[in-house]
Structure 1
Amino acid sequence: MNWDNTRYLLAIARTGSLRAAAASLGVDQATVARRLRTLEQELNIGLFTRHPEGYSLTAAGRLLVPEAEKMEAAAAAMGRKTIGLDTTLAGTVHIASTETLARCFLLPALRELRQSSPGITVTLSTAPALLDIKRGEADLAVRSARPTDGSLIIRRLATVRMGLYASAEYVSRHGLPVAGSAFAGHELVMFPRDVLPQYWQELCGEPLTNGNIVMETASQLLMIEAVRQGMGISMMAQEIVERCSPELVNVMPSRSDCADIWLVVNPDVWSAGRVRVVIEAIKDAFGSR
């Protein structure tokens, strides 16, 4: 059986149509149909049932998909290990992170990297959903949550100081919150409860009991902008405020917390020359050695 044809089996199984499978693979629809036909002839079985709504797996197709996924994973692992043997300072490195970490730390690092290693191209993903580093969806990540997977290479980049911030305009309207008042008379801008539930009991040690939550957003940049525009108080890293919005006011200096920033790397690419250079640039940006 031709391994390359199994890519088409997986694409159709995941998307349910020839057109969507073709789009995901970057080929035309006729190519997908031809590859599927060839694979079914090679195996002498039908893999899909065709119906007006699309394609659904037959019983035989459902049996083969897990095996095809193993082949896909093995091929991806071979590719990543090949990258790990490459000592050249050229090629693409895929980084996953958050919007604010990317803006405040990674972009300055990548600007410097561009001067010293112009052959390296970076793909920077900041979508809310975490990419799977182990499966090779990105080469490395910079995150505020430490992964539990022991097979990944994990290093602490920095420990940032968390504080409670608002705009000067907000403070002029509402005054400063009083420690121990549980934000009585104040408005709060929060991450959604299902994203960071641990911060829905207290912020920097101050209970939320009497606060009025006026906005929830999963976007860190939007949260900073909401605070800048006077919508309320939010918990932020002091280092990020200093870099992105130094005009914001720490409204309760007696309340603080800390959080670690982690570097997560797929071990298959750890030794690649271009990956090592990117890692060193990121460590420099965080003052980590």
Structure 2
Amino acid sequence: MNWDTADFDWNQARAFLATAEEGSLSAAARALGVTQPTLSRQVSALEEKLGITLFERGPRMTSLTSAGLEVLDHVRAMHEAAAKLSLSASGQSQAVAGLVRIATTDTLACYHLPDMLLRLRKIAPDIEVEIRTSNKLRDLLQREADIAIRHARPSEPELIAKKVRTTSATLYASKDYLDRAGRPRDAGDLQKLKYIGVDTRDTLIQPLKQKGLALTTSNFTASADSGLAAIELARKGLGVGLFIADEVDQFPDLEIVWPDFKPFDVPIWLVTHRELHTSKRIRLMFDLISDYYSLK
């Protein structure tokens, strides 16, 4: 294996690492925000440079060769070292200027972050913000984001978290859908309705069962891994969705399906890396988001 560090191209290494972690060229391209042909060329160029085959390519998935597994350990170690170096440098920055990356859900990005950023412009106009709509804490651990807004508390020791708000989620549907299907009078009527799944059709079955609602996959005729998409599916009358009140109150065409259904408590956690918390611009953004939720 010919590994010449003087001729090393980190873009090729990132393409290789993303493909190994995501399992396919198409998924890796989406993760890195590049086209699939570009990513494929980068992986092929790295294979040619090293003189080895890194992946066995299938129609939909790619699998690492034994040589690819060996290279993966080296590239992952390099990536982690670069992330630590970047964290250390960012943590020492005391300028109230520069870039802050925020990772959050697509609904929070659309319905919460714009108001926060308007306040930020007045306080610190030199701070630039990049928003990533992602649910992976890896964004923070790999230094792909500086702050995350999540609905679950992280367990990783290198992350610090603050619960800034507890909201609620309940069942919503469009008025048109309930006019057609009938407004439920009891839990039995709820089980006759069609539902919109989150991620997959069976994700909500167990949580709703704990609320006394026994559903099967046959109840879920549509699903979406995007909160925005799920809300739009409900607005078009495709079924009942479990949505956070803060995010659907602005849609008068959606109504609570059954007032007697006990809502879920939904915490909102603000998360950052311990080292990043010493950066003045990131601390300012962290506190601004926290203040925003304390006033809601």
Q: TM-score, normalised by structure 2?
A: 0.74
Which aligned pairs between 1:102-121 and structure 2 lie closer than 5 A?
102-121=109-128
How much identity, in percent, do the aligned residues show? Answer: 28
For residue 49 of structure 1, what is the amino acid of its counterpart? I
Does residue 278 of the first structure (1) align with residue 285 of the second (2)? yes
The answer to whether the Cα contact below 8 Å between 1:84 and 1:272 also exists between their aligned partners in 2 is yes
The answer to whether the Cα contact below 8 Å between 1:97 and 1:141 also exists between their aligned partners in 2 is yes
Change (3 A) 1:288 1:262: farther
| Shift, 1:62, TM fit | 6.5
Structure-2 separation of matches of 1:221 and 1:62: 38
For residue 235 of structure 2, what is the amino acid of its counterpart? R
| Shift, 1:126, TM fit | 0.7
Change (3 A) 1:176 1:139: same
Change (3 A) 1:156 1:58: closer
Partner of 2:23: none
Structure-2 separation of matches of 1:276 and 1:2: 40
What does the per-residue CA deviation read over 1:183-225, in whole Å, with 9 as the maximum and x for residues that have no partner? 243121121337x73x213538141437732211111111111
Q: Structure 2: give runs of 5+ residues left out of the alignment.
A: 21-28, 58-63
| Shift, 1:228, TM fit | 1.5
Q: Structure 1: give runs of 5+ residues left out of the alignment.
A: 38-46
The answer to whether the Cα contact below 8 Å between 2:140 and 2:146 also exists between their aligned partners in 1 is yes
| Shift, 1:285, TM fit | 2.4
Structure number with the bigger relative contact order (C-alpha 8 A, sep ≥ 6) is 1
Change (3 A) 1:269 1:254: same
The CA RMSD over aligned residues, in Å, is 3.7
Change (3 A) 1:143 1:11: closer
SS of residue matched to 1:207: coil
For residue 132 of structure 1, what is the amino acid of its counterpart? D
Does residue 235 of the first structure (1) align with residue 238 of the second (2)? no
Does residue 252 of the first structure (1) align with residue 255 of the second (2)? no
Does residue 135 of the first structure (1) align with residue 142 of the second (2)? yes
The answer to whether the Cα contact below 8 Å between 1:143 and 1:263 also exists between their aligned partners in 2 is yes
| Shift, 1:68, TM fit | 5.0
| Shift, 1:149, TM fit | 1.1
Q: TM-score, normalised by structure 1?
A: 0.76
Change (3 A) 1:143 1:288: farther
Does residue 48 of the first structure (1) align with residue 51 of the second (2)? yes
SS of residue matched to 1:186: coil
Does residue 201 of the first structure (1) align with residue 196 of the second (2)? no
Count how many residue pairs are aligned between Structure 1 and Structure 2.
265
The answer to whether the Cα contact below 8 Å between 1:128 and 1:218 also exists between their aligned partners in 2 is no
- Of 93, 96, 99, which aligns to 1:89? 96
More helix by share: 2
Partner of 2:179: 172
| Structure whose alpha-carbon radius of gyration is higher | 1
SS of residue matched to 1:193: coil
Partner of 2:60: none
Partner of 1:10: 13
